């Protein structure tokens, strides 16, 4: 029996050509693996049939939308996951679930190698290969674009020569990756970081300059997980999808940033994540009233490190797993409702309530009913500033000598 190679398959030109390209270069049979993480577009059966038509000996397809929402998007939400304070980890969190299914397919079909379509200068090659090495340490990895000299021009020529069942068109000027958590756009015109994004770049969001009427939404959370919108119970996947629609209609979640790639390159990226950004905003505000101050401060540090690990392809690492435990514990009391207005590119919270809130009206109010003992403040300030006062006295004494 020939060796088998499992290929992460999108259904597009490059990975369709890669099926035959890999077979020609290695002599192995290719098993195509397509994973639905809510990227939209063609149905999975169409993609499966295309893979077989392009020469795959087997085609493994998986509807991982709920799995992705529950096991990858929700941990990201609980961590308030934003790389460098901007990027909601759209592509970074989809790679581990795809890796999981790649390794599963490799076991099922007896493959010894896993292939992906990444280049040698991006983050995803690291995310795929580190994940594969972790879940399947006996498996080898190859990348046709990086390792087998598969270029776009060669892909078009190969597809036409072999009469593959795939449309061959001139390259889209942008590289696009999308799933239910958001959409990432890069390269082409955007590589000049002075150029403003053009309207054709966007798909998940409408222009915020001419928004429809404000849309007020109430999001219900239970232990950090959104469970309902406006009182209607929904799954996490349904919540994300509905907020993609509603927040997207208002232009919420457009991000234009130059970020630090893992490989050492600064890269200009455009992201659209209407549902993700609305949810992260709401979740942060609920944490503000349900997590104690020092706990919240430290969680922000943990969330930043968690985001860096995930961005850097360390989803399955021991440290990330340990941080998961801390973050999960922090969500014990993060339950309640957040009311926010979606309008003109913004998601603004204007109401919050929780049965586990730490907000005490009688302590916070300046009006009748105030129970705060103001006489305790003076002694607190004296003690709080003592070390600075002593140091300042020393500095002034030494300066005067």
Binding-site positions for ATP: 8-16, 117
Q: Annotate 37-94 with DSSP letters as a single string.
A: SS--SS-HHHHHHHHHHTT-SEEEEEE-HHHHIIIIIHHHHHTT--BTTTB--TTTTH
The binding site for L-citrulline comprises 87, 123, 127, 175, 259, 271
Q: Are 171 and 152 in contact (CB under 8 A)?
A: yes
**Binding-site annotation: residue ranges for L-aspartate:** 119, 123-124
Please choose, from the candidates 301, 252, 334, 262, the residue with its C-alpha nearest in 3D space to the C-alpha of residue 85: 301
In whole angstroms, give the CA distance from residue 275 to residue 135: 30
Whether 28 and 113 have beta carbons less than 8 Å apart is answered as yes
8 A C-beta contact, residue 31 and residue 111: yes
Per the CB < 8 A criterion, the answer to whether 89 and 277 are in contact is no
Which residues sit in the known binding site?
Answer: 8-16, 87, 117, 119, 123-124, 127, 175, 259, 271
User: Could you give the residue numbers annotated as active site?
Assistant: 14, 95, 124, 175
In this structure, what DSSP letter does residue 190 have? G
Q: Is 249 helix (H, G, I), strand (E, B) or coil?
A: helix
Record the tokens describing residue 189, joined without a space.
Answer: 């015109």
Report the DSSP beta bridge partners of residue 173.
Answer: none
Residue 61 phi, psi (nearest 5):
-125, 145
CA angle 58, 138, 13 (to 5 degrees): 40
Outline where DSSP puts E strands in 285-345: 336-343
Distances from the Cα of 296 to the Cα of 67, 220, 334, 349, angstroms: 28, 20, 12, 19
Burial classification of residue 127, based on how many CB atoms lie within 10 Å of its CB (0-12 exposed, 13-18 middle, 19 or more buried): buried
């Amino acid at each position: 029996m020939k060796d088998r190679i499992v290929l992460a398959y999108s259904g597009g030109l490059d990975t369709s050509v890669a099926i035959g390209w890999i077979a020609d270069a290695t002599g192995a049979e290719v098993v195509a693996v397509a994973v639905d993480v809510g990227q939209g577009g063609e149905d999975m059966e169409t993609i499966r049939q295309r893979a077989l038509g392009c020469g795959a000996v087997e085609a493994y397809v998986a509807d991982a939308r709920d799995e992705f929402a529950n096991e990858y998007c929700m941990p990201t939400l609980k961590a308030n996951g934003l790389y460098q304070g901007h990027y909601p980890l759209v592509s970074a969190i989809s790679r581990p679930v795809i890796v999981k299914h790649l390794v599963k397919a490799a076991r099922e079909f007896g493959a010894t190698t896993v292939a992906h379509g990444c280049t040698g200068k991006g983050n995803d090659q690291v995310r795929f290969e580190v994940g594969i090495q972790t879940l399947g340490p006996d498996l080898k990895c190859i990348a046709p674009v990086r390792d087998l000299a598969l270029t776009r021009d060669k892909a078009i020529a190969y597809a036409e020569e072999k009469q593959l069942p795939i449309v061959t068109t001139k390259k889209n000027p942008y590289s696009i990756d999308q799933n239910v958590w958001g959409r990432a756009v890069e390269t082409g015109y955007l590589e000049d970081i002075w150029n403003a994004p053009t309207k054709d770049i966007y798909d998940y969001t409408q222009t915020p300059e001419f928004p429809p009427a404000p849309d007020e939404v109430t999001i219900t959370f239970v232990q950090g997980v959104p469970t309902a919108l406006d009182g209607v119970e929904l799954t996490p996947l349904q919540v994300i999808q509905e907020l993609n629609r509603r927040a997207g209609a208002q232009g919420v979640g457009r991000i234009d940033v130059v970020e630090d790639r893992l490989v050492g390159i600064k890269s200009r990226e455009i992201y659209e994540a209407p549902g993700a950004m609305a949810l992260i905003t709401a979740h942060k505000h609920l944490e503000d009233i349900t997590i104690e101050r020092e706990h919240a401060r430290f969680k922000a540090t943990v969330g930043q490190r968690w985001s860096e690990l995930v961005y850097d392809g360390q989803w399955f690492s021991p440290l990330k797993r340990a941080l998961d435990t801390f973050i999960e514990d922090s969500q014990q009391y993060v339950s309640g409702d957040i009311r926010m207005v979606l309008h003109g590119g913004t998601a603004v919270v204007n109401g919050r309530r929780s049965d586990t809130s730490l907000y005490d009206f009688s302590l916070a109010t300046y009006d009748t009913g105030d129970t705060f003992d103001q006489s305790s403040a003076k002694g607190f300030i004296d003690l709080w500033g003592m070390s600075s006062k002593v140091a300042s006295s020393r500095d002034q004494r030494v300066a005067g000598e």
